[in-house]
Structure 1
Amino acid sequence: MSYLVQLVLILVLTKLGAHLSNTLNFPSVIGELLVGVLAGPAVLHLLTPTSFTHYFAEIGVIVLMFIAGLEGNLGLLMRYWKPALTVATLGVILPTLSAAALCVWGFGFSWATAMFIGLILSATSVSITVQVLKEMNHMNTREGAIILGAAVADDIMCVILLGICVSLFGTGAAAQSQSVGALALPKILFFILMLVLGKWFVPYFLRFFDKLNASENVATAALILCFGFAALAVSLGMSDVLGAYFAGLAISETSFKEKLALKIEPIGYAVFIPVFFVSIGLNITFKGMQHDLLFIGLLIIIAIIGKQFGGALGAHLFGLNLNEANIVGAGMVSRGEMALVVANVALSAHLIDQNHYTAMIVVTVITTLIAPLVLKLFIQRAQKEHSEIKQSRTKIDEVKS
């Protein structure tokens, strides 16, 4: 099948899937994810993962997180950095240790393999969460700010812990020994560069392009910054989506924010982002899974409860009520590209075999499918609670008057 036919199928099926999902009152992203599962190798074999879908999906997730940054609020993020860091820490510790203990005491794994499996479950991907927050108009709330801030901290923790575990336990090309300092320094440099470039270079760059005599100057400049920051992040050992998010966040502090949001969103949501959501479902295959059903089922439970409880507890410690804290917890449940990166490193370091690698891909995809449903449920509960409080206050004011 040619790449053009693949693209036509993906675009048609994702829009139909999103429509059906919205009609049934589910987040649209659920329909798009299920398209990948149903049309992919797991069921109908209409689509298969190819280099085309891989690179389009990479661009899709980068643009999605760039849009999230573009619509973000830097002041809100800075205001809630303490709860975000607490949520991230608890959200890494609980699923990692729980999964490692299950693997060692329940299934006889070595501690080295068990720690890597735990790390796979500790990695959060907010790209799916961002889509639900946008749909529910919940992005620029304190819960949204805590989720995004925690995802950044979570990413850093996961990368550093991954490097330490590879150094201690791994073998092969992926396990070349590095000191903790060598692992940490590029990450520190990344944040310094993001701060400096975001504050001084980004506004100048956009103003320079705005003066050029060519079409769509500023939109092109924004995409250059998006992909440039993503490439810089990868070169310093960070996730490309993290670089794209910071590029968007830097632009959100300029006067070009509103103009660019109207330009970039159609580019992402018309083509690239649907391919990203479908690509997640294409990674699922049910071949040989019957031997690992108990293992997969227990890991899914730990993956969901560990993140949900850890995130909610961290948020509740900083004064969020139960519904708001549960929104934060649910926002941290989704796994994605970072979990897949850890799984690939574990496989190349000979710490998990192909069967367990496949099992971890299934766990990652299923938690990613469940996360938007749970998040939407808690957001609806919080909105209902706010509505009831507002109505009761209105009645009290009417009685007083």
Structure 2
Amino acid sequence: MPLAFVAHDPLAGTLMLLALLWLSAKVGGELAVRLKLPAVTGELAVGLALTALHRVWSWFPEVAASPGAELLGGLGVVVLMFAVGLESTVPQMIKVGAASLRVAFVGVVAPMAAGLAGAWLLLPRGTPFVLDLFIGACLCATSIGISAQVLREKGAAESMEGRIIVGAAVVDDVLGLLVLVAVSGLVASSGLGPSGGSLGPELVRTLLLALGFLAAALTLGRLATPRLFRLASRFRGEQVLLPLGLGFAFLLAWLGSLAGLASIVGAYAAGLILEPAHIEDLERRERHTLEELVHPLVTVLSPLFFVLMGAKVDPTALFKPATLGFAILLAALGVIGKFVAGYAGGRGTRATVVGWGMVPRGEVGLIFVATGAQLQWDGVPLLSPEVQAGIIGALLLTTVAGPVGLGWVLRHKQPE
């Protein structure tokens, strides 16, 4: 191939950036795993390091500015939320039990209140109240994947506490997404500024819209999908399940965005709707479950999202004393808020195990920040570089503290 063609290939720069992002993500994730930390912490740290290198050497690629990487990272987060939805079903959510429901409810309300208080104390006067609400929403999230891994390693996945944590995290995802949708819709529908109208009615309207979309998707979707996938099982072509599953997820993500919601809400709803009974014929024919087929895509695409999230953090903003102090206090409030939720499990459960199991925010919290980074208030981004860096720093600290605390309390068993 002529060198001149290579030099003028419009894809060449994007291919180099993607290679850099994927290789960096795997190196960062490996280092984190070797340090007994979740891989996502290493991927975020690598993104931050890449931006720092660009600041030092201007010739080094600015990875956060790549449209190709941004597109694949956006697809990664949609596929990730689809996979999270596939891990649970609507009947499972109904059967999680009173203890899980209590833990989930307290696990949203307490961190939300703590985040509101922390934002009110630390942010300058005159800061819009929706920013305080958004910071509280970011602390509502729970990353069940991280805690589930620790529970499996310690042989506690099938314990009462393990089942409560998993059940509460499933409900927690839905409640947290509703809070995120309500706050995001409030910003979008208030005229992009403080003069757009009263907060109360807008918040109620947006929340009702989100609930209406989820209710319609879960009811109509559960009625329609068995027939659609039964029809698809008659296809004679090979590898039908994955394209149809992704097409269904992207369709609901698009419909969710048309309804004024974040696309991740539609993708999550698609995962909840696609119950194993609806697609068992295709899964039997292809000898793989849909979860197994989606997993490699999540493995390939989601690290791009996390590296890009880290790359978008301003290193100079993150390491300012005020920003670090904000991150540490916000992380402490986030830990306390989720830890309190452990005591809602009731008698016969170890509250410390449940509490620490609910602490990690991980990828779910970062998805919330990515959504907030696209919002504007009064013509300027809702999240300043310092606030965005502080929230990500707090999420990182809780992501590290959660598995460390959970592992410690599981090693030191308390009497029932």
TM-score with structure 2 setting the length: 0.78
Question: How far 1:127 moved relative to its partner?
Answer: 8.7
Alignment of 1:1-400 (within 5 A): 2-41=13-52, 45-49=60-64, 50-78=66-94, 79=96, 80-103=100-123, 107=124, 109-110=125-126, 113-124=127-138, 129-133=143-147, 135-136=149-150, 137=152, 141-164=163-186, 171=193, 175=196, 179-180=201-202, 182-254=205-277, 256=280, 259-269=289-299, 271-287=300-316, 293-319=320-346, 320-332=349-361, 335-345=365-375, 347-350=376-379, 357-385=384-412
- Cα gap change, 1:380 to 1:324, in 2 (>3 Å): same
- Cα gap change, 1:374 to 1:344, in 2 (>3 Å): same
Question: How far 1:362 moved relative to its partner?
Answer: 0.7
Question: How far 1:348 moved relative to its partner?
Answer: 3.6
Q: Which runs of 5+ in 1 are unaligned?
A: 391-401
Q: Work out the CA distance in 2 between the residues paired with 1:98 and 1:361.
A: 15
Q: Which runs of 5+ in 2 are unaligned?
A: 1-11
Q: Can you list the C-alpha shifts for 1:312-357, whole angstroms capped at 9, x where unaligned?
A: 2133123252322332441347632323433543x4425778xx70
Give RMSD over aligned pairs: 3.3
Identity of aligned residues (%): 17
Q: Work out the CA distance in 2 between the residues paired with 1:62 and 1:125.
A: 21
Letter in 2 for 1:102: L
Question: How far 1:166 moved relative to its partner?
Answer: 7.0
- Cα gap change, 1:145 to 1:26, in 2 (>3 Å): same
TM-score with structure 1 setting the length: 0.81
Q: Work out the CA distance in 1 between the residues paired with 2:187 and 2:380.
A: 10
Letter in 2 for 1:121: I
Q: Work out the CA distance in 1 between the residues paired with 2:260 and 2:311.
A: 26
Deviates most, 62-71 or 129-138: 129-138
Match of 1:399 in 2: none
- 8 Å CA contact 2:105, 2:172 repeated in 1: yes
Match of 1:398 in 2: none
Match of 1:397 in 2: none
Q: Work out the CA distance in 2 between the residues paired with 1:335 and 1:366.
A: 11
- 8 Å CA contact 2:107, 2:337 repeated in 1: yes
Letter in 2 for 1:3: T
Question: How far 1:217 moved relative to its partner?
Answer: 0.6
Q: Work out the CA distance in 2 between the residues paired with 1:5 and 1:165.
A: 37
Letter in 2 for 1:146: A
Task: Report the secondary structure of 1:331's partner residue.
Answer: coil
